[in-house]
């Protein structure tokens, strides 16, 4: 149906019926003479007749049409055939049907000023209002509004981002988005992600699956360790993206973090030592006892994931031994534990192996320290610090086991992008 503004009855009678699915706005130019009558008259002081005919009207069409229910990935377009568009907004009306805060939809105006197109997906189960202004050739401006809604999501996917909340992290921590359910349309998700860094840092997104938990994630890893002092901002416009099979993401993510001290530790399992560096300078040398020949420690580059002052560690939890009669059975409260793999590798206090520190590897795969050394390491460690392990008989840690992606070359890492 057409809505008219400032048009005389004689002109309205000749208007064409609008298409059923289009919302049109006709902007008429009013007379510019000395009075408001349709017949007009001489304009005072100019010696000539006033303008009584309008210039070409600006007809505006909005899609989706008013009252429609559409998929969250539907593009919103606003067009005018003969005028120019001004501001266009697509704003949610209240919360989504599942209670989440919906996103406002952004878009871009074409160079000729006649078409505006949204550039993102919308939140499922949300009522939206389109508000558009347009100006005709005579300079007459009017505004129209149109309401539609997005269909609710019958299936949803969740995402957890790391790090967030202005955290200060170590130089090895990638930006990571872990999904509750596997993502089929990885390219759609990756196109919605944006990273900005100060100073500029080169890197790439890559898709991984943790071999232990099966959790799928997409990480942004720089080509080399983050420079200390880097500020990182994530903008993830994920709300309304179908991750596959009609399973939608519902929330955007926007947050920042920064990079602190470059703390990198080098554990030599053959020499039973670990050297800790900060910003390239050695600050500590420790005697260690790593994994025994039966349960060797992973080789490769690992990253501090978390730390706990006390962790209960059992042989059963890592499928080593379930019977107390086994020589390899253990059930211990372990102190000052710094986690470096999902599969259960820690740097921690191991006073029961004090006599082996610096001499022999006797653990079940972790890197053991004396109580005092473990406390220093625990107090200093932050998420994102790097631990490089060499000299073990075990393979290099899998790329998805914790943040093992540092064991890939730059080219290998870039190849894991869905947009490579």
Where in the sequence numbering do the catalytic residues fall?
A: 348, 366
Report residue 209: phi and psi, to 5°: -130, 130
Q: Rounded CA gap, 133 and 87, in Å?
A: 6
- CA–chain centroid gap for 418, Å, is 15
What b/e sequence results for 133-154 when a residue is b if at least 16 CB atoms lie within 10 Å of its CB, and e otherwise?
Answer: bbbbebebebebebebbbbbbe
- Other beta carbons within 10 angstroms of residue 121's beta carbon come to 25
Q: Rounded CA gap, 151 and 350, in Å?
A: 56
User: Which of 395, 194, 215, 362 lies closest to 288, judged by CA?
Assistant: 362
User: Which of 145, 129, 119 lies closest to 92, judged by CA?
Assistant: 129
Which residues lie below 8 Å from residue 191, measured CB to CB, with a gap of 6+? 419
Please, which residues bridge with residue 10 across strands? none
Q: Which sign does the torsion angle of CA 245, 246, 247, 252 carry?
A: positive
User: Which of 295, 296, 347, 297 lies closest to 321, judged by CA?
Assistant: 295
- Return the residue matching tokens 């266009």: 88
User: Which of 85, 87, 88, 82 lies closest to 137, judged by CA?
Assistant: 82
Q: What is the dihedral of CA 376, 378, 383, 387, to 10 degrees?
A: 70
Report residue 285: phi and psi, to 5°: -125, 125
Please, which residues bridge with residue 368 across strands? 289, 348
Q: Which sign does the torsion angle of CA 179, 225, 277, 289 carry?
A: positive
Please, which residues bridge with residue 155 across strands? 247
What are the DSSP E strand ranges found in 260-345?
263-268, 273-278, 281-287, 300-303, 306-314, 331-339
């Amino acid at each position: 149906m057409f809505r008219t503004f400032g048009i005389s009855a004689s002109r309205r009678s000749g208007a064409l019926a609008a298409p059923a699915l289009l919302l049109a706005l006709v902007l008429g130019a009013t007379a510019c003479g000395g009075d408001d009558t349709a017949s007009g008259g001489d304009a005072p002081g100019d010696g000539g007749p006033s303008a009584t005919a309008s210039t070409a009207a600006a007809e505006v069409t909005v899609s989706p049409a008013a009252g429609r229910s559409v998929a969250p990935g539907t593009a919103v377009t606003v067009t005018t055939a003969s005028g120019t568009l001004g501001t266009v907004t697509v704003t949610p009306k209240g919360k989504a049907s599942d209670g989440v805060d919906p996103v406002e939809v952004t878009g871009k105006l074409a160079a000729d000023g006649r078409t505006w197109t949204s550039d993102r997906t919308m939140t499922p189960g949300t009522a939206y209002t389109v508000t558009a202004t347009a100006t005709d050739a005579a300079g007459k401006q009017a505004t129209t509004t149109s309401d539609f809604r997005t269909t609710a999501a019958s299936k949803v996917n969740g995402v957890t981002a790391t790090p967030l909340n202005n955290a200060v992290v170590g130089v090895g921590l990638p930006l990571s988005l872990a999904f509750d359910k596997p993502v089929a349309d990885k390219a759609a998700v990756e196109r919605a992600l944006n990273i900005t860094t100060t100073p500029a840092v080169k890197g790439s997104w890559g898709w991984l699956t943790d071999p232990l938990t099966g959790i799928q994630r997409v990480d942004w890893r720089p080509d080399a360790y983050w420079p200390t002092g880097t500020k990182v901002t994530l903008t993830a416009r994920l709300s309304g993206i179908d991750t596959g099979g009609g399973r939608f993401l519902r929330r955007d993510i926007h947050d920042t973090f920064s990079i602190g001290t470059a703390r990198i530790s080098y554990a030599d399992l053959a020499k039973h030592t670990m050297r800790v560096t900060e910003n390239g300078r050695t600050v500590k040398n420790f005697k260690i006892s790593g994994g025994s020949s039966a349960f060797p420690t992973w080789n490769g580059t690992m990253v501090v994931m978390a730390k706990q002052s006390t962790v209960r560690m059992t042989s059963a939890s890592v499928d080593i031994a379930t019977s107390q009669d086994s020589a390899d059975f253990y059930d211990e409260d372990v102190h000052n534990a710094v986690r470096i793999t999902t599969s259960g590798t820690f740097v921690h206090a191991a006073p029961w192996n004090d006599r082996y520190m610096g001499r022999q590897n006797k653990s079940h795969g972790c890197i053991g320290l004396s109580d005092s050394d473990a406390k220093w390491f625990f107090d200093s460690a932050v998420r994102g610090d790097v631990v490089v392990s060499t000299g073990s008989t075990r393979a290099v840690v899998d790329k998805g086991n914790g943040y093992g992606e540092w064991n890939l070359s730059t080219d290998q890492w870039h190849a894991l992008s869905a947009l490579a």
